[in-house]
Amino acid sequence: MKSKLLSIILLTILLAGCASTGNNPKDPYEGFNRSVWKFNKGLDTVILKPVAKGYKAVTPDVVETGVSNFFQNIGEVPTILNDILQFKLGKALKDTGRFLINTTLGIGGLFDPATEFGIEHQPEDFGQTLAEWGVGDGSYLMLPFLGPSTTRDAFGQGVDSVVLYNLYDELENDSQTEIALRIFDIVQTRAGLLSLDDQLNSAPDDYSLVRDVYLQRRQFLIHDGNPPIEDEECEFEEDCEDF
């Protein structure tokens, strides 16, 4: 599973490199990216969205929140590692405290008492770490199955996926259970985005909207919620945090 994900990322980067350039300097492979976006939308329409809607329809809110908390808590592990790699040692201690509180008092992460104690979820990933080390955004990429990214962030996604897959192995050394957990995570994530569908469907150009919101959100995360003035304005302010 890990090798398949890395292969998707590497193949996309190679194919994009062979594609014709576009007019947007941030999106030089726009023609290729739009084709992948169309493919992803078709896959979402036929499979992922109906499953997510069905899941949301039959799942009580308290259960859905618990599942979301569980996967968010697992995600604290790569966040802590990236805190350390970025030399944000104070944040690493804070995020470690959040993870321990939610794992113990929160019953394996199903509940989120850390937020009630004032320790907010502040994700870090290896793409943000590379940015902290001075690596530029690179070109915007739309990855098959995985969605929006950049050449830098795609590499970061590959690294973070290795950490998460190894963590799932530690939680359950059964490949079928591991795959089920990953699928459940994807469905839960898609269910959490259903509220944005109307906004996306009403956009004159949904591809451009997703691209712009993604790039703005990355600046928001990389600069810990305080992006430079030229990047600070976000037409969809909440989306910068949650999209």
For 202-212, what is each residue's pLDDT tens digit?
999 999 999 99
The predicted-structure confidence for 168-182, as pLDDT tens digits, reads as follows 777 666 667 777 878
Q: What DSSP line would sit under the chain, residue for residue?
A: -HHHHHHHHHHHHHHHHHSPP-SSTT-TTHHHHHHHHHHHHHHIIIIIHHHHHHHHHHS-HHHHHHHHHHHHHHTHHHHHHHHHHTT-HHHHHHHHHHHHHHHHTTTTTTS-HHHHTT-------HHHHHHHTT-----EEEETTTEEEEHHHHHHHHHHHHHHHHHHHHH---HHHHHHHHHHHHHHHHHHTGGGHHHHHTSS-HHHHHHHHHHHHHHHHHTTT---HHHH--TTHHHHHH-
111 touches 66 (CB < 8 A)? yes
pTM for the full model? 0.82
Least confident window among 4-13, 17-26, 140-149, 208-217 = 4-13
- Is the pLDDT at 27 greater than 50? The verdict is yes
- Is the pLDDT at 233 greater than 80? The verdict is no
- The backbone torsions φ and ψ at residue 111, rounded to the nearest 5 degrees and listed phi first, read -120, 165
- Is the pLDDT at 12 greater than 60? The verdict is no
- Is the pLDDT at 242 greater than 90? The verdict is no
- Give the per-residue pLDDT at 231: 47
